[in-house]
Amino acid sequence: MTVKEQNEASRPSHFIRNIIADDREKNVHQGRVHTRFPPEPNGFLHIGHAKSICLNFSMAEEFGGKCNLRFDDTNPAKEEQAYIDAIKADIEWLGFRWEEPVHYASDYFDQLHDWAVYLIGQGKAYVCHLSPDEAREYRGTLTEAGKDSPYRNRSVEENLRLFEQMKNGELAEGSCVLRAKIDMSSPNINLRDPIMYRIRHVSHHQTGNKWKIYPTYDYTHGQSDAIEGITHSICTLEFEDHRPLYEWYLDNLPIENKPRQYEFARLNLNYTVTSKRKLKQLVDEGHVNGWDDPRMPTISGMRRRGVSPAALRHFCEMIGVARSESIVDVGMLEHAIRDDLDKNAPRAMCVLNPLKVVITNYPQDQIEQLKAPNHPNKPEMGERQLPFAREIYIDVDDFREEANKKYKRLVLGKEVRLRNAYVIRADEVIRNAEGEIDEIRCTYDPETLGQNPLDGRKVKGVIHWVAAHRCLDVEVRLYDRLFLAEHPDAKKDVDFLTHINPDSLRVLQGCKAESSLANAHPEQGFQFEREGYFCLDRFDATEDKPVFNRTISLRDSWSKLDSEN
RNA sequence: UGGGGUGUCGCCAAGCGGUAAGGCCCCGGGUUUUGAUCCCGGUAUGCGUAGGUUCGAAUCCUGCCACCCCAGCCA
């Protein structure tokens, strides 16, 4: 198999790729491929945007083309510079490089204005003084045609004069708009004389106080694409009805390069909310700690949680690109995350709920330095030292006074393997005044380091542990799904907030981590063996107080078994 | 009851007239000092539905059904 074939095999065809490949073969756009990712800076990017980013950037990359980053900043009231900065950081973190410089739709406000004057001159645009309510009435309904605005036949001169006044801030906000003169009886409502400009006496994060009028998305997007030489303008399905309008502007303006718009189905994930409005609500109302809270499906949230760019990109490839609306199982995202971490995360041990174990036949002051591989299947990842001593911690869940045969951990009177160390036997349970278990007294078999018991005894279980006096005291944040309902926003009459998982974050203090973890870097993924994947929080961890976020647990076929009994 | 779309395994998704890819999930079995990973094997006589064309249809034609989007001076 050639490299190209392998590539094609691992990247299944999808309709956008097919269209582009086809266009290149037919030399459409002189064989150029130029895409763009056009976010509005009114919130943080989420997993759905990741799909679009991967699509746009990878199509350009694959076909030797370019991909622009363009902020779709036509509504200054909702936009902020802070979002622009965050969006740029997210895209870079994902590993994509846009074609410099960064573009803004607002870069084209002058050109757009001149084109509006041009359309007025052609008798194809007019200033309309209908109030919003009146305009709605005149627009008609889905089944009834609209009516022409009484202002539709103003003279070119009057329109020019009024538009100039709009531009100069001489007219009040909301008093009138500039509309394209298309067809009030079109079955496509977008063609019923759509608004091109509205008056907004607000300053803009890029253009300051220069403008009193701002163009709408429809009047801006296609032309911006054309100006930038975009060939394939990829957007989501809900813009499909806008395509005739997109093309109307390109056809009625003196524009050479005509980009084509293609629509794909946006990403939906179960147990997740991906609507900027709702995500903003979660942030604004304090249900989470900011846009980059590790529970958020935002790119920065997932980053902070410990998800790698590679995992996200792989996920986007797995789910494909199509035109049918679908809801992807979060299990697929989780699989992509585990798959990446399993291959790349060094192993370590950390006891989440410590239970002291005293090994009575181990010398009082002795400390051995055991060796442990950093990855069981990748010797090239090296090994580390693991101090072993008379007192260790194991997890509360890994000991039972009595249990059936299915329980493969430490049971009173039975043996278990300490991961990377010896086999121990539980001899005695020590209780405090309240009758709670305080510690377990064990004995170890010195002949079992790196080998099975010499007499052929079978020890089936393996548990993790940490040396009591050589470990780190750490905080661990256990994250779980933010929503309990599979489709949190499915019902319009049920507030999605009612489905919030009250246990989406559990903070554990006093967890005991092996000492080598003192060298962990923020965002570096580790597998805490038998527990899951964790990383140091990039904002809250300090030298004195390490804070680890659980990215995701290990797959667990035991808890299912256990609960069946 | 207008217009635009979509319907292939529990969830994604290839397929474009030659006899249903792949991934996730699930179920068996094997390896394993992580109940992880990994490895083998299994899972649609069926492609929304009813007809038609054809030697042959998920692919072409016709009717029907279901679901999604559109009546912001949001994008």
Length of chain A, in residues: 565
Q: How far is the CA of A275 from the C1' of B48 (A)?
A: 29
In chain A, which residues from 517 to 556 place their CB closer than 7 Å to nucleic acid strand B?
527, 529-530, 554-556
Instruction: Confirm whether A332 is domain-assigned.
Output: no
Q: Are residues A211 and A224 in the same domain?
A: no
Q: Are residues A553 and A479 in the same domain?
A: yes
Instruction: Confirm whether A234 is domain-assigned.
Output: yes
CATH of residue A272's domain is 3.40.50.620
CATH of residue A146's domain is 3.90.800.10
Task: Note the pLDDT of residue A4.
Answer: 37
Domain count within chain A:
4
Contact A159, A126 (CB under 8 A): yes
CATH of residue A500's domain is 2.40.240.10
Q: What whole-number distance in Å separates Cα of residue A111 and Cα of residue A472?
A: 61
Instruction: Confirm whether A340 is domain-assigned.
Output: no
Does residue A188 reach within 7 angstroms of strand B, measured from its CB? Answer: yes
Q: Are residues A419 and A459 in the same domain?
A: yes
Q: Are residues A371 and A423 in the same domain?
A: yes
Which neighbouring-strand residues pair with A34?
A66
The answer to ipTM > 0.95 is yes
Going by pLDDT thresholds of 50, 70 and 90, the confidence category of residue A559 is: confident
> Which of A411, A437, A464 is a domain's end point?
A464
pTM comes to 0.96
H or E stretch including A391? strand A391-395
Contact A535, A462 (CB under 8 A): no
Q: Are residues A119 and A84 in the same domain?
A: no
Closest CA to A83 of A72, A96, A67: A72
| Lookup: nucleotide whose C1' is closest to A464 CA | B34
Task: Note the pLDDT of residue A2.
Answer: 34
Does residue A176 reach within 7 angstroms of strand B, measured from its CB? Answer: yes
Q: How far is the CA of A18 from the C1' of B7 (A)?
A: 21
Does residue A451 reach within 7 angstroms of strand B, measured from its CB? Answer: yes
| Lookup: nucleotide whose C1' is closest to A146 CA | B71
Does residue A324 reach within 7 angstroms of strand B, measured from its CB? Answer: yes
Going by pLDDT thresholds of 50, 70 and 90, the confidence category of residue A9 is: very low
Q: What whole-number distance in Å separates Cα of residue A328 and Cα of residue A267?
A: 7
Q: Are residues A212 and A232 in the same domain?
A: no
Instruction: Confirm whether A67 is domain-assigned.
Output: yes
- pLDDT of A160-191, one tens digit each? 999 999 999 999 999 999 999 999 999 999 99
Indicate the range of A10-19, A51-60, A194-203 predicted with least confidence. Answer: A10-19
Bridging pattern class, strands A350-351 and A505-514: antiparallel
Inter-CA distances, A302 with A292, A321, A336, Å: 8, 22, 13
Q: Are residues A292 and A361 in the same domain?
A: no
Helix A47-62 × helix A15-25 angle, to 10°: 20
> Which of A186, A216, A246 is a domain's end point?
A216
Instruction: Confirm whether A18 is domain-assigned.
Output: no
SS3 A318: helix
Instruction: Confirm whether A3 is domain-assigned.
Output: no
Q: Are residues A357 and A321 in the same domain?
A: no
Q: Any idea which residue has 């299990």 for tokens?
A: A331
Instruction: Confirm whether A17 is domain-assigned.
Output: no
Task: Note the pLDDT of residue A492.
Answer: 85
A378: annotated active-site residue: no
> Which of A156, A186, A216 is a domain's end point?
A216
Q: What whole-number distance in Å separates Cα of residue A141 and Cα of residue A133?
A: 13
Segment A292-312 mean pLDDT: 98
| Lookup: nucleotide whose C1' is closest to A77 CA | B74
A158: annotated active-site residue: no
A438, pLDDT greater than 50: yes
Q: Are residues A426 and A478 in the same domain?
A: no
The full DSSP string for A149-200 is -TTTT--HHHHHHHHHHHHTT-S-TTS-EEEE---TT-SSGGGSS-EEEEE-
Q: Are residues A284 and A318 in the same domain?
A: yes
Quote the tokens at residue A26.
Answer: 């037919």
In chain A, which residues from 236 to 295 place their CB closer than 7 Å to nucleic acid strand B?
237-242, 265
Q: Are residues A100 and A245 in the same domain?
A: yes
Q: Are residues A543 and A459 in the same domain?
A: no
Domain span at residue A125 reads 108-216
Task: Note the pLDDT of residue A493.
Answer: 85
In chain A, which residues from 354 to 413 place their CB closer than 7 Å to nucleic acid strand B?
375-377, 406-409
Instruction: Confirm whether A20 is domain-assigned.
Output: no
A164: annotated active-site residue: no
In chain A, what percentage of residues exceed pLDDT 90? 95
Nucleotides of B under 7 A from a protein CB: 1-8, 10-16, 21-25, 27, 32-38, 68-75
